[in-house]
Amino acid sequence: MKKFSAMALSTALVVTTLAGCGSTATETTTDSATTETTVATETTTEATTEAAVADDADAVDPHDWAEYDALIDEIRTTTDYEAREAMMHQAEDMLMETGALLPIYYYNDIYMQKSNVTGIYCNAYGFKYFMFANADSDTLRLNLASEPDKLDPALNSSVDGACLAVNSFSGLYTYDETGNPAADLAATTEVSEDGMTYTFTLLPDLKWSDGSELNANDFVYSWNRAVAEETAADYAYMFDVIARTDDGALNVTASEDGQTLTVVLGSPCAYFLDLCAFPAYYPVKQEAVESAADWQTNPGAWCQDAGFVSNGAYTCTAWTHDESMTYTKNPYYHRADEVSVETLQFMLSDDDTAIYAAYNAGDLDFIDTVPTDEIQSLLDNPEFVIADNLGTYYVSFNVKSPLFDGKTAAQANAMRRAFSLLVDRDYICENIGQTGQKPANSFIPEGMADGNGGIFKENDSSYTYPDADTVGYYNPTADAYEDNLAEAIELLKFAGYEFTDDGMLSDATPISFEYLTNDTSGHVAVAEALQADFSAIGIEMSIKTCDWNVFLNERKSGNYDIARNGWLADFNDPINMLEMWTTDSGNNDAQFGR
């Protein structure tokens, strides 16, 4: 059974099936072990102070996050998949009750690709694969983003960085053009009957881009490096599915000849091959990593300039920082005979107006963004692609922000949920997104599997998912605006704010904060829409823009009040969207438990 506290009623939910990338289209607490089949539906849709807030004893406290951490650990290790599904709904409830995640819409992906270019494909997680492209030239000219933050596959946590990683490194598995995991460096994969042991036999004669031998020992080194405390990898938690040895190392071993890698899991993991296709699981060469003078204190130093060793289709051969990067075909790549494009030339910029102009001038063959004000004119253009994504565009609140100083957990949660109620998601989707994005009112995206043979947001034999009409969940549509506005005011009153008779914040209790975003037209337009929505009751929001890599690190460090955010799933299971919020996760931008 999934029970909903009154605090959950201000937030929450809206299902599509995933389609392959590349089409051109014009739309694009319970007892954690319970398996009961009912769900609470006896709530009122009318917001009152009593229904909208909870006593502090009942509030989910984002600073005391031990219960959430323990729940995620249980989800990771249980073999009861029906109970696991229920626990993941419980975990999402806890996230939404904090109000610290304000979902805006469910992602799709847009890009432009010249008609003479074929063979580029992507998956639902935003990774673009260029290595099997065909074009009139032996060079592809591309734009993904501005200066990448990290190129070390263990350290990267951005989509553009992942795109560079999948084209310059190779793992045991990859994604094929249908969006499914496919063997890459693994010649064969054997799984024990209990699902706990994976044995990978590698392809013969694998090499690094410098011609040296690559074998199973490189995976043992790389995976243990990724979880080492000194590496401080954001994705270290992705290896928690692997069992540990008595000395704390991952239970991963290489055969004497280096051709076989044996991995022992802590519990069966249905998505383990997806993990093997994710960049954090790619190998890096120990000698190359440790050749950097400061490698022990700066683990990514080895690949901060061109010329670093990799093992994928391309190697980075030139890098003019903040301007351009050149990737050249790697002759030692195990599928080099299938790579016809010799050079990838990347323009580093997040100025979408300049990027679009360069594309129209014939200086770029592929761009991953277009100016917001150009989208309507491009919907019927065959070079404009709208692809399915599995992810959520959202706003994250820093729960440690001074904005919430002096507030109880319940009051701070009420504030954040009030802000969510003020946002006109329909306007953002229709006027800024413009490509069929759907308004979001919970964090787990539409279409995501439930890990139990179904879809997380669809009803099944073990779970009935609530909807706005029967449960009274937050309704993001424009016709619900007046009700949402009234509820937002009641929540803010509970949090200690005073209002004038005309529904505006009193000068005696002002609210002001800074919104952090990177400087591209779509993100700035969303920020301005939020600014207008909040100003409807007198909330003052200023907007701070900064360069992409600076923005990522400011958000990660918690140097913000409220920030634009987005998460494209790394694999098709809700745990991916949930485990990123544990206290120790490097992707915990909201600072839960800290």
Following DSSP, what letter does each residue of 220-248 receive, concatenated?
HHHHHHHH-TTT--TTGGGGTTB-B-TTS
Q: Are strands 139-143 and 366-367 parallel, antiparallel or unpaired?
A: parallel
Whether residue 16 is predicted with pLDDT greater than 70 in this model: the reply is: no
User: Hey, where are the domains in the chain?
Assistant: 6-14+40-108+389-581, 115-350
Categorize the per-residue pLDDT at 57 as very low, low, confident or very high, splitting at 50, 70 and 90.
Answer: low
Measure the CA angle with vertex 548, ends 543 and 552; round to 5°: 85
Whether residue 51 is predicted with pLDDT greater than 90 in this model: the reply is: no
Contact 172, 200 (CB under 8 A): yes
* Cβ count within 10 A of residue 337: 7
| 538-560 pLDDT per residue, tens | 999 999 999 999 999 999 999 99
- Please report the pLDDT score of residue 551 as a whole number: 95
Whether residue 534 is predicted with pLDDT greater than 70 in this model: the reply is: yes
CATH 3.10.105.10 fits 6-14+40-108+389-581, yes or no: yes
Looking at the DSSP bridge assignments, the partners of residue 121 are 129
Whether residue 24 is predicted with pLDDT greater than 70 in this model: the reply is: no
Whether residue 48 is predicted with pLDDT greater than 90 in this model: the reply is: no
| 163-172 pLDDT per residue, tens | 999 999 999 9
Contact 535, 548 (CB under 8 A): no
Whether residue 366 is predicted with pLDDT greater than 60 in this model: the reply is: yes
What class, spelled out in words, does domain 115-350 have in CATH?
alpha beta
CA distance 586 to 556: 8
- Please report the pLDDT score of residue 457 as a whole number: 86
- Please report the pLDDT score of residue 25 as a whole number: 34
Q: What is the mean pLDDT of residues 370-389?
A: 96
Map residue 31 onto helix, strand or coil.
Answer: coil
Q: What is the mean pLDDT of residues 557-576?
A: 96
Task: Measure Cα distances from 48 to 6, 427, 488, 492, 514 in Å.
Answer: 10, 26, 10, 12, 29
- Please report the pLDDT score of residue 477 as a whole number: 57
pTM exceeds 0.85: yes
| 314-347 pLDDT per residue, tens | 999 999 999 999 999 999 999 999 999 999 999 9
- Please report the pLDDT score of residue 40 as a whole number: 33
Pull the structure tokens for residue 490.
Answer: 């009641």
| 403-449 pLDDT per residue, tens | 999 999 999 999 999 999 999 999 999 999 999 999 998 899 989 99
Categorize the per-residue pLDDT at 465 as very low, low, confident or very high, splitting at 50, 70 and 90.
Answer: low
Pull the structure tokens for residue 475.
Answer: 């309704």
Whether residue 402 is predicted with pLDDT greater than 80 in this model: the reply is: yes
Whether residue 6 is predicted with pLDDT greater than 70 in this model: the reply is: no
